[in-house]
Chain A
Amino acid sequence: MNVAITPTMIGQVIISGLLAGALYSMVALGLALIYGVMRVINIAHGTLLMLGAYTTFWWFRLLGINPYLSLLVALPLMFLLGMLLQRTLVTRVVDAPELSSLLLTFGISIALVNVAQLAFTSDVRSVEFLTGAFLVGPFALSKSRLVSFAFAVVITVLAFWFLQKTKLGKAIRATSQSSEVAMVCGINVQRIHLYAFGIASALAAAGGSLVAVIVAIQPEMGTVYTFKSFLVIVLGGAGNYPGALLGGMLLGLVEQLSSLFLTTQVSEAVAYVLLVLVLLLRPTGLLGGRAR
């Protein structure tokens, strides 16, 4: 561990942090949407990400086409699955105490993970695509990470454009500010919940498709992303959508920077210490959000 840390290494770490952070931001935006609109903490978020990753894997394995094109399948598929989950199950715990939604979404998660295990086995899979790295000056940029980063940025920008400019997006933001007032304004809150869960699931699936070319794919892979997404929305402030972006980038940077000094395992713990500190010292998130 006693390697001298050079400016190049720090630069490299910052680049890796930003590349990873954009993916975290995108995935966490989904979780933030669900929490913002319904006050539900969705433990199954990472599970939907896992299903997205498997979609990409099978697409690539069976069809042999560019895995990034599988986004065109994974997103609509998970959008529909998300709406189905919302319509049948999650809608029943929207106004219940948090224990109900935590347990319910955990139940969904464990059922889906084990269905995936039955269907796909627990073998570790990977998508071999765009291996290798670009060398830019002293920095090595992994090709697959770079392309996934670009896709994540585009999808996140689209999601924000949707939230800011379209009528449905505005209705979603209105509902997350106050569902009563939204209802009084003639917004069909039930439908907003449905769309929000669908969009959130699609964002998780996009995350899955994009990490499929980077990390190993297996049924349990989602848990880590669920936790990281919590962390991101706590950092950014719950119900604060731009905060999710900042939080994701910050998480990516903190993880990479701490892995420079500590082992990868502990860098995960650093992230959680950060979580607890932020919860205690600035409970409304770094950008401010709803009071707790």
Chain B
Amino acid sequence: MRWAILAALPIGLLLLALYPMVATGYGIQFMLQLFMWVALAQSWNLISGLTGYVSFGHVAFFGTGAYGAAILVSKHAWHWVPASLMGGVAAVVLALIIGYPCLRLKGPYFAIAMLGLNEVMRVLVSYFEGLTGGGSGLSLPTLHASRQVYYGMGLAALAITGVAHILITSRVGLRFMTIREDEIAAEAMGINTARYKLFAFLLSAFVPGVVGGLYARDQGYIEPISVFPLLTTVTMIVMALFGGKGTIWGPVLGAVTLFIFQELVWARFLYLHQVLFGAIIVVVVLLMPKGILGILQERYRLPRWV
């Protein structure tokens, strides 16, 4: 079983790498956004799925990365690849500033603080008009780079999933999960919880920042409400939850399933699809809080590398 999957993985990756040669513009856009959601859901999984600290404002890192990269590209004429990486660095810096104090907060208070952080970031970005264009947004120079951005997003999704794999199958991941199960016990066992929480938080902030930068490049235009919506945070959470939080492939499975469903079914209805999304959130939370993989894991004792 394990060998079959290990063989399927490189073949799948090869197919995805070759896909842009045969794909239409829409196909590339579709896959690019799919990768974006995989990366976002997986990065939320690193902090919240593993350590149990619910980041309810994770989109703040995405937005920070988007603005960081967009400013570098449009005002300082950087190439979008290093600019996106710098977007990731900007997100990590933000995570460091906010995580150091806020990770001491327990339970719902951390969630509220993160929610507040997102609002603050949106307001600040709207306020510093000289740098960010304020509420009227920021345009990037025209460039048709969908194919390249496709690879960028794909790499980001692959990298963060790889990190999740390394963490979850290692002692570091076990320490994260110990914090999730019982922080006081973790401390008593000699785990430096403050350090590990911050480490997980920084790891989980980098990729959303990079992805934000790539998103800004792909869209060519960003504004505060498009890169800091609470809805994006909730979407990544629901994707991770649907597939199974705290697992390696759960967020990937959740992102793929929900994104395909969203594109094929909901996009046809303007308001109704959000009503349906609300209903799906309620159903996922009430009926399958452990997610698909969580349920399978309980029933069939799946190994950790799932």
Contacts and interface: CB of A to CB of B under 8 A. Distances in A.
A110 B115 contact: no
A279 interface: yes
Contact of B127 (A115, A266, A280): A266
Contacts of A113: 274
Contacts, number: 130
Contacts of B17: none
B113 A275 contact: yes
B102 A118 contact: no
Contacts of A111: 274-275, 277-279, 282
B272 to A, nearest CB: 7
Given A41-B111, A107-B279, A265-B127, A118 B271 contact: yes
B123 interface: yes
A107 B231 CA distance: 10
Interface string B71-114: 00000000000000000000000000000011011111101110
B198 to A, nearest CB: 15
B109 A103 contact: no
Interface in A194-232: 223, 227, 230-231
Interface stretch (A10-18, A91-99, A169-177): A91-99
Contacts of A265: 123, 126-127
Interface string B160-184: 0000000000000000000000000
A115 B271 CA distance: 8
Contacts of A269: 119-120, 123-124, 127
B116 A89 contact: no
Interface string B227-239: 0001100100110
B296 interface: no
A272 interface: yes
Contacts of B238: 103
A141 interface: no
B111 A98 contact: yes
B289 interface: yes
Contacts of B282: 89, 104, 107-108, 111
Contacts of A104: 281-282, 285-286
Interface string B18-36: 0000000000000000000
B48 interface: yes
Contact of B286 (A92, A99, A223, A275): A92
B275 A115 contact: yes
A273 interface: yes
Nearest to B126: A265
A98 B271 CA distance: 28
7 closest Cβ contacts across the A-B interface? A111-B278, A107-B281, A114-B274, A110-B278, A269-B123, A98-B108, A107-B282
